[in-house]
Amino acid sequence: MNASITFEDGQLRVPDRPIVPFIAGDGIGPEVWDATRQAVDAAVRDAYDGQREIAWTELLAGERAHQETGSWLPDETLTGIADHLVALKGPLTTPVAGGIRSLNVTLRRELDLYANVRPVRWFPGLPSPLRHPEQVSAVIFRENTEDVYAGYEVPAHSSEGDTLRSMLREAFGWELTADTGIGIKPVSEHASKRLVRAALRYAQERQRSRVTLVHKGNIMKYTEGAFRDWGWEVVREEFADQAVTWEDCDGEPGDRILVLDRIADAMFQDILLNPDQHQVIATTNLNGDYLSDALAAQIGGIGVSPGANLNDEEGRGLYEAVHGTAPDIAGQDLANPTATMFSAEMLLRRIGWGEAADIIESAVERTVAAGVVTGDLAARVQGTRAVGTREFTDAVLGRIG
């Protein structure tokens, strides 16, 4: 009998046939979703001899939702994800007009999925500009609910702009010219601490020895600088037995997790020159957006990069590839399903089905190592053979079981 996943005493309770929602997505979404569903179902069958299976249930969002319901993000979709706790999502088109800044941002904020988690790891067969891409193995924890993505803006040459500029002049003496647009960047103690807390818990559970806090606190002292300071408070007040900051141990943590901090611009250099020094990265929203794509470029690109949006306290997780809808190749059997497959692999680990997750990970890696890749990778790796989405999926399925 199919049943819902529940969250009790801080743990997911997963039946043998859990109901898991999916959003196929727009553009190439349906193609990569179908490939992923086949791989997941095959891996689960192989791992558990048919004793477990996922009962997939579809939810609507994006263009198809708008066409069928008149809403880009129906209430039923938000309720369905909240009720079932975990879900898999394809890429979504955000409408140019209509008052929605981003469907992805809206999903994260409405469900309070505060941690965007992106593992970045190279494996043989993937293109890389680095001499030693095998040194790249990092997991980014990007705060999802604040910063400029949840900020407030007023345009230049507007009555709102005139009002805000006048208020700022009167209250703080800030002189801004009439042609200045203004944005407000919120960063709170609550959101910063829970993000760092999640990164430290992950480092503990996965036996990672380093966590790096990335910020631009030398310039934005009361937002990004505060993010770093609040992160240090979490280390000192909640994880003192398990972790220590660099400044408190002078780089000698003993058997504790070493927590470093890096200025954001210097971090871009560091992940190129010393990628092995950064294992878990915790940062604010915009920095995380930049860093995750920059790191992905070092191990093959966003076409192979998975992601998850998590709320540990509520047990919720929305899993998604980080690439876009690629409408120019939709329906042409050209899409790379690797990122979505790896996102599903993350979902399987979240629900405790690690054996099935290992099977997917191994099958995809062996397929790529054999030189069987989609065109986006074949164009950058000598000795590979470009195949379509369906042939790549069949190659992965052939390595399951």
Walking along the chain (401 residues) 10 residues at a time, the average pLDDT comes out as 92 97 97 98 97 98 94 96 97 71 86 96 92 94 93 93 95 95 96 98 96 97 97 98 95 96 96 94 96 94 93 96 93 96 98 98 96 92 90 98 79
pLDDT of residue 105: 85
C-alpha gyration radius of the chain = 22
pLDDT of residue 100: 63
- What SS3 state is found at 239? coil
In the chain the domains, ranked by start, together with CATH numbers, are 1-114+327-401 (3.40.718.10), 129-148+188-298 (3.40.718.10), 152-185 (no CATH)
270-296 tens-digit pLDDT: 999 999 999 999 999 999 999 999 999
322-369 tens-digit pLDDT: 899 999 999 999 999 999 999 999 999 999 999 999 999 999 999 999
pLDDT of residue 166: 96
**Residues in a beta bridge with 214:** 262, 283
**Residues in a beta bridge with 86:** 317
Backbone angles phi, psi at 292, to 5 degrees: -65, -40
Helix or strand holding residue 40 (H, E): helix 29-48
| 103-110 helix and 75-84 helix, angle to the nearest 10 degrees | 50
What's the per-residue H, E or C state across 301-336?
CHHHCEEEEEECCCCEEEEEECCCCCCCCCCCCCCC
Question: Catalytic amino acids?
Answer: 149, 216, 265, 289
Cα–Cα dist 212/280, whole Å: 6
Q: Is residue 99 a contact partner of residue 72, using CB atoms and an 8 Å limit?
A: no
